[in-house]
Structure 1
Amino acid sequence: MRTHLFLVRHAHSIYTPDEFSRPLSEQGFADAERITQILQNENIDLVISSPYKRAIQTVEGIAKMIKKEIFFEDGFKERILSEKPVEDFHAAIAKVWEDAHFSWDGGESNILAQERGIEATNRILKKYEGENIVVGTHGNIMVLIMNHFDKKYDYQFWQELDMPDIYKLTFEKNELKEVMRIWDKDK
């Protein structure tokens, strides 16, 4: 029995220092509508999201379409890079990808964030085996989850993600069988 996880990286958001409440931008809302259209023929059974507003807003159209509530999962929230704003975001991200055990002050290493994401993924795969599940999440944690199953999903892959982006992961039990990108920013 195959389980399909549709990992949805949130759409563009308006920057605020409040990670939890940062909303989508006008472009983000337009892209969220496109995500709903793309996923409307995928027989989605349920929607799970990071508790962050931008992730919820990105997938709420799908939940409305299937007439179901969104379930929240802390394991899919974005990795905490640092407790304070970093001077150079890209250099800070590159550093944690270079050394999976390294973390900035108050932040999560790749190892810790990945463990959190994989625990959530495994719980969902067990509880909802055989279902089609949309997961509203964030770029770094999404790639860390994918990296657990296949090391080709790395820092370079993260850099090439779109915002939003959608990857369909097909599992048998908790074994990854196939990954397919289903977002096309040019459509």
Structure 2
Amino acid sequence: MMTNLYFVRHAHSVYSPDERNRPLSERGHQDAARVAELLEPEYIHVLISSPYKRAVQTIEGLAERIGAGIILEEDFRERLLSEHPVDDFEHAVAKVWEDSSFAWEGGESNQAAQSRGVRALERVLEQYKGNNIAIGTHGNIMVLIMSHFDPRFDFSFWRQLDMPDIYKLSFSDQDLVEVQRIWN
């Protein structure tokens, strides 16, 4: 019995230092409508999201279309890169991908963030076995989780993601069988 997870990287958002409440931009709302169109035919049974507003807003349209609520899962939130804003975001992210145990002051290492995300994913696989599940999340944590199962999902893969982006991960129990990109 296959379980299909549809990781939905959030759509474009309006920048704000308030990570939790940063909303989608106008373009982001338009793309979120496209996310709903693409995922409605996938027979999604369960919707789960990071508690961050932009992740929730990206899958809200799908929730409305299928008449389902969205379960918030704190552990699908984006990785905390640093306690304070960084001067060079690209450099800061590259550094944590180069050394998986490295963390900027007050931030999470790749190891810590990946461990958190994988634990959440394993709970979802166990609780919703055999279902199709959409998960509203963020690029870095999504790729960290994916890289746990397959190392080809790395920093360079993260850099080429779209916003939004959708990847279908098919599991047999806890084993990843196939990954397919849905967003086009």
- What range is the shorter-chain TM-score in? over 0.9
- What is the TM-score normalised by the length of structure 2? 1.00
Between the aligned residues of both structures, percent identity stands at 59
* Alignment of structure 1 residues 71-150 onto 2, 5 Å: 71-150=71-150
Aligned 1:1-187 pairs, distance under 5 A: 1-184=1-184
SS class of match (1:104):
coil
Q: Identify unmatched segments of 5+ residues in structure 1.
A: none
Residue correspondences, number: 184
Separation in 1 of the partners of 2:145 and 2:82? 20
TM-score (norm 1): 0.98
* Long gaps (5+) in structure 2: none
Alignment RMSD: 0.4
Offset from partner CA, 1:65-116 (integer Å, 9 cap, x none)? 1111100001110000000000000000000000000000000000000000
- Following the alignment from structure 2 to structure 1, what is the Cα–Cα distance between the partners of residues 135 and 23? 18
Question: Match of 2:14, as an amino acid?
Answer: I
SS in 1 for 2:15: coil
Output the amino acid matched with 2:181: R
Secondary structure at the aligned position of 2:100 is classed as: coil
Amino acid at match of 2:15: Y
What amino acid does structure 2 have at the position aligned with 1:36?
Answer: A
